[in-house]
Amino acid sequence: MKLTRFEDLKVWQLAHKLSIDVAKLVKSFPRAEKYDLAGQMRRSARSIPSDISEGFGRFHFNDKLTFYERARASMGELRNHFMEGLDNKYIDEDTYNRYCNGMREIGFLLNRLIRNVKKARDDYENARKLKRNSSQRLTSNAKH
């Protein structure tokens, strides 16, 4: 089944839900963190599904990879922010673990998506090389 919309990607669905959940969670943070940690968490969480959707819309393999890898990097940033939230006692350990488990699943799916795009890129390049080599052989054989 060929996917035609980024909304159909399981990884985007989970990242989108994570983004919404993080926005709700940080509302309980102290007012002093509104523009600091809470804002950074909201932005990094929003960046994950945004980069996935932008990558999905790109035509070239390397463009796709750039955005999928950015999404993965934003998730690493969000994990760091969660650790800060835990250390500052803005969230409890159960909440931290629940979110980290969700991010692990998203990370697994992102890594699989990245691996599939790299494989498709490599297969495409190999097919082009094969086609180029076979047409060169045909041309050189015709000259002899």
At 5-21, the pLDDT tens digits run 999 999 999 999 999 99
Give CATH for domain 7-115.
1.20.1440.60
Report the percentage of the chain scoring pLDDT > 90: 83
SS3 label, residue 103: helix
For residue 4, the one-letter residue type is T
Distance CA 59, CA 95 (A): 38
d(C-alpha 113, C-alpha 3), whole Å: 13
User: Tens digit of pLDDT for each residue in 49-98?
Assistant: 999 999 999 999 999 999 999 999 999 999 999 999 999 999 999 999 99
